Amino acid sequence: MRIGFGTYTLMVAVVLYGVLLGGVAYSHIVYFPVYLGHLPESAVLTNGEFALHEENFWLLIHPMLLMSLSFALWINWRDKYRRNRIALTSAAYVLVLVISSLYFIPQLREFRDSQRSSISVEDWHARGERWQHMSWLRGGTLFLCIAPLLLALAKPEDDAEG
């Protein structure tokens, strides 16, 4: 079986998507329960000299994954089967990014600044819980959306008609 350049571009996209999913899993299992479960006191995790800057990971992986998905889509464009599956994963991922930029990221900024807020501890806890539940849905969506990408990779490149 011949492995062509289109398959290699898909491999890179799948690996980067897997890195993204690893970050999602880690954040939701280890980081967010501690950080968002004890606001405003736990905001020290994201403030000060020794703060954790999780955004560094996301600011690195998102552009890399977007570029790899775009490149894989472009290289595999003539293969309808692959094109449709790469496009589906890409569209869902972009939609999640848009939703994240409109809701999740602004909320994280407010959580970071919670120590300087007059909002009650109970309200912060409720907001943190709601954010986590919504973010689990977001993460679950991302996990489901790797399936079309894996199906595109599983299809041999020689079978161009799909």
Torsion of CA 95, 14, 8, 93, to 10 degrees: 0
What's the pLDDT score for residue 1? 61
**Domain membership flag for residue 160:** no
Q: How confident is the model at residue 159 (pLDDT cuts 50, 70, 90)?
A: low
The reported pTM is 0.91
Q: Is the pLDDT of residue 160 over 70?
A: no
Q: How confident is the model at residue 156 (pLDDT cuts 50, 70, 90)?
A: confident
Per-residue pLDDT tens over the stretch 99-111: 999 999 999 999 9
**Domain membership flag for residue 162:** no
Flag the least confident range among 6-15, 61-70, 153-162: 153-162
**Domain membership flag for residue 159:** no
Residues 148, 89 contacting (CB under 8 angstroms): yes
**Domain membership flag for residue 22:** yes
- Which one-letter DSSP state was computed for residue 48? S
First to last CA, the chain: 16
**Domain membership flag for residue 161:** no
Report angle CA 9, 13, 16 to the nearest 5 degrees: 140
* Domain total of the chain: 1
Angle between helices 146-154 and 80-99 (to 10 degrees): 160
Give the domain range for residue 13: 5-154
Per-residue pLDDT tens over the stretch 10-52: 999 999 999 999 999 999 999 999 999 999 999 999 998 889 9
Residues 132, 14 contacting (CB under 8 angstroms): no
For residue 109, what are the CA distances in angstroms to 55, 71, 72?
11, 32, 33
